[in-house]
């Protein structure tokens, strides 16, 4: 960690400032919850019932923040005679896992005709924000090409899983060479934190923040893997469609899609978009930075370094911050998206 004299973190639990903050860590990645951990040297906290209490953390990097870097709810905590530690997750935790009110979508009770946005708006209004706003909807948006809940059927599933499955169908392929997918994110405002859908920024974006050695980059490392070059998708009646990109100079790396596609044309399009979505994400880059601390997931940034294998525009896929009142470190992961090994052929 680097010593940063102008980073002045502040932690609030249930609206009260915690003066004994010792260490903290924050992490987020695309399509995953934000997570915050902290250790406090305040043994009196062990007598409080803090489960599901609201946490707000202000990083105050360079200046006083008007909105928190993180807002969420305590899910785990541990207390001893000398210290107290806890883990909190952002408000999307109320639509995930076993604690969420499950969704059953059947032929009799369904959301046919609803867009994905309309479905989640109704669910949160009816099941989450009953007595108070826990997961805000002010910023919730329709995506460019809305996807619909028509035909979607789920048996007692967490709403987060429903959103994730349906959102996979939302792809902006107006530029066939660079289709862009969507992901869920959280927007922290003055009082509430809102669910929102974002689209990844194009890597051709010219208005990117530039990172150089001695200008934002403290440390850089990367590794490269062969790109996915072949994808196959199967229709409901068993017809297999395959897409092969180029002459696969780095070898054939395949991906099998398990979606339910109505026609061979729909399956072929899904296979093509999957390959092209992943083809540029071959370099897994990690940079420890001194700027861009508040960059959002999916944003494109420009890395200007002598190594041509790394130089150019990349996309932020995860971020981790850790420190204390006397030290601070921020690492950005770029072009590194979660890969399920079981999906590979």
Per residue in 206-244, pLDDT (tens digit) is 788 999 999 999 999 998 777 777 888 888 888 888 888
What tens digit of pLDDT does each residue of 11-53 get? 999 999 999 999 999 999 988 999 999 999 876 665 677 889 9
Pair 203, 300: CB distance under 8 Å: yes
Give the pairing of strands 209-213 and 300-303.
Answer: parallel
Looking at residue 338, what is its pLDDT? 44
Record the pTM: 0.82
d(C-alpha 182, C-alpha 170), whole Å: 6
The CA distance from 249 to 236, in Å, is 32
Reported residue count of the chain is 345
**Mean of the per-residue pLDDT values for the chain?**
86
The helix (run of H) or strand (run of E) holding residue 64 is none
The arithmetic mean of pLDDT across residues 126-142, rounded, is 94
pLDDT over threshold 70, residue 137: yes
Instruction: Give the whole-angstrom CA distance, residue 293 versus residue 310.
Output: 20
Lowest-pLDDT choice from 60-69, 138-147, 213-222, 238-247: 238-247
Task: Output the pLDDT for position 341.
Answer: 31
13-17, 45-49, 92-96, 257-261, range with the lowest pLDDT: 45-49
Q: pLDDT-derived band of residue 205, with 50, 70 and 90 as boundaries?
A: confident
Identify the pLDDT of residue 238.
Answer: 83
Domain coordinates in residue numbering, the chain: 10-91, 94-199, 209-343
- Round to whole Å and give the CA distance between 269 and 70: 38
Q: DSSP label at 213?
A: E
pLDDT band of residue 257 (cuts 50, 70, 90) is: confident
Q: Checking DSSP bridges between strand 21-29 and strand 70-79, what pairing results, if any?
A: unpaired
Among 33-37, 45-49, 121-125, 146-150, the range scoring the smallest mean pLDDT is: 45-49
Q: Rg (Cα) of the chain, in Å, rounded?
A: 22
Give me the mean pLDDT over the 276-304 stretch. Answer: 87
CA-closest candidate to residue 263, choices 228, 226, 238: 238
Orientation of helix 159-167 relative to helix 116-127, angle to 10°: 170
- Helix then strand count (H, E) for the chain reads 3, 21
The confidence score (pLDDT) of residue 150 equals 94
Q: Is the pLDDT of residue 118 over 80?
A: yes
């Amino acid at each position: 960690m680097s010593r940063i004299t102008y980073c002045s973190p502040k932690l609030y639990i249930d609206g009260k400032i915690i003066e004994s903050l010792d260490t903290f860590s924050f992490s987020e990645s695309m399509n995953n919850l934000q997570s915050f951990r902290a250790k406090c040297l305040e043994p009196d906290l062990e007598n409080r019932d803090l489960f599901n209490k609201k946490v707000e953390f202000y990083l105050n990097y360079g200046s006083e923040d008007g909105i928190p870097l993180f807002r969420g709810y305590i899910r785990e905590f541990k207390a001893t005679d000398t210290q107290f530690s806890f883990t909190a997750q952002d408000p999307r935790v109320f639509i995930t896992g076993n604690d969420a009110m499950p969704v059953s979508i059947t032929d009799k009770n369904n959301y046919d005709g609803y867009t994905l946005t309309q479905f989640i708006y109704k669910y949160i209004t009816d099941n989450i924000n009953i007595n108070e706003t826990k997961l805000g909807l002010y910023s919730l948006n329709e995506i460019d090409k809305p996807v619909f809940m028509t035909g979607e059927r789920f048996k007692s599933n967490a709403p987060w899983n429903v959103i994730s499955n349906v959102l996979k169908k939302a792809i902006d392929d107006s530029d066939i060479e660079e289709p862009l997918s969507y992901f869920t994110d959280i927007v922290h405002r003055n009082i509430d934190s809102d669910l929102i859908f974002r689209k990844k920024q194009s890597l051709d974006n010219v208005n990117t923040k530039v990172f150089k050695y001695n200008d934002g980059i403290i440390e850089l490392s990367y590794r490269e893997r062969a790109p996915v070059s072949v994808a196959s998708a199967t229709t409901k009646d068993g017809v297999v469609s395959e897409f092969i990109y180029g002459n696969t100079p780095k070898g054939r790396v395949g991906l099998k899609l398990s979606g339910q596609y109505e026609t061979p044309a729909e399956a072929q399009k899904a296979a093509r978009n999957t390959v092209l979505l992943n083809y540029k994400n071959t370099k897994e880059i990690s940079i420890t930075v001194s700027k861009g601390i508040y960059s959002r997931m999916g944003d494109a940034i420009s890395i200007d370094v002598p190594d041509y294998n790394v130089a150019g525009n990349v996309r932020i896929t995860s971020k981790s911050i850790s420190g204390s009142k006397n030290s601070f470190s921020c690492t950005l992961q770029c072009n590194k998206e979660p890969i399920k090994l079981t999906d590979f052929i």
